[in-house]
Amino acid sequence: MTKPAGPTRAALDPEAIAVLVTRGQELLATGDIAAARVVLLRAAEAHDPGAALAVAATYDPILLEKIGVFGTDVADIRSARNWYEKAKELGSQEAPRRLEMLAGRER
């Protein structure tokens, strides 16, 4: 006897992903990092490289400083690196450059 499958998230179409990424970037630009992560994670779970790249940005100390978000409780280089790696695996052309920037920051 097989177990019934657990609940699954509905797949997102490209338009829904684009809406989530746009909203997440708007939240990020206003400094609402926590809300941006929630929205962007939903899109990244659909295996979208742009969404994964955007999630990484919410942890990236370099990009957070550029938008005026400071504090050790927000930036997390390890999480940024992990999400950039995921974005790279999903086909992001920008992720390798961002990984190089982070590597320079860690030195």
Cα-Cα-Cα-Cα dihedral of 55, 33, 31, 67, to 10°? Answer: -40
Q: Where would I find the H helices in 4-94?
A: 14-29, 33-44, 49-57, 61-66, 77-89
Q: Which residue has the tokens 């097989």?
A: 2
Domains of the chain: 14-106 (1.25.40)
Give mean pLDDT, residues 7-24. Answer: 83
Q: Is the Cα dihedral 51, 79, 83, 57 positive or negative?
A: positive
pLDDT: which is higher, 30 or 81: 81
pLDDT: which is higher, 76 or 5: 76
